Each structure stands twice: as C-alpha cells, then as structure tokens.
Amino acid sequence: MSAGTVFILLTVFTNISTGLDCNIPTNTDGLKILPDYITCICSGIGSVFQWSSLESIQSDLLPFFNKIIFTNCTTLVLDLLLPPPDPLPLLVLNNMEEVVISVSMDMASL
C-alpha cells in the first residue's frame, strides 16, 4: 500500500460522521405485525455503521429481523467488528457511491 493510498483512506474516514438512524419501520396499514427488517438511514455525506448502531432497538427483538436495509447513504463505512448479532442479518445496500467494510477474521462467513 502506497503512502498516497493511506492518505486517501484516512481522508475518507475523517470526513465521515456517525450520522445513522437505525430503527424498526412503522407499519402504515394499521396491522400490528412487525416487519422482518430494520432500516438504517444515513444523514450527511457519509455514515459509519457498527453493531452498536442497533442499541436503540430492544435486544430481545433483534433475532426477529433478518435484514438491515441502508438508505440515503452516499458513503457508508461498515465497521463489522465483533460481537455480531446472532443470527447474523443480511445487509442490503442500495444506491451507494462508496462502501468501506472492516471485518474481523472471526467473521469470514460474511
């Protein structure tokens, strides 16, 4: 890795905020059925997702959500270090300009 590459990556990380709002989408049809996914909406130029970004959701409900859908993200950093939730959800990334993924060796199945 050249010094120029390191400089570019450091620039990306310093310009990214943690602005990410993860929540359970509300049901608009009046039914009391929970969806099977969580939405994470980015704010600003870039956002960082960590497993701790899901702290606003009750931990006993997390196993019922098999997908995390990211929206409104220009640049997204997925900092997927341990401990991941169990079971591991599917991450859905739509219309992103840039995605940076950081994982630990224990998450080789990702």
Helices assigned H by DSSP within the chain = 3-14
What is the percent of the chain where pLDDT is above 90?
Answer: 20
For residue 46, what pLDDT is reported?
A: 77
pLDDT of amino acid 3: 43
DSSP 33-52: PPPSEEEEEE-SSEEEEEGG
pTM higher than 0.75 = no
pLDDT of 34 reads 73
Residue-averaged pLDDT of the chain: 77
Span 14-24, pLDDT tens digits: 444 457 899 88
102-110: Cβ within 8 A, 24+ apart: 102/77, 102/78, 104/80, 106/82, 107/80, 107/82, 110/80
pLDDT for position 105:
67
| Contact (CB, 8 A) for 51 and 18 | no
Of the candidates 75, 81, 80, 109, the one whose C-alpha atom is nearest the C-alpha of residue 93 is 75
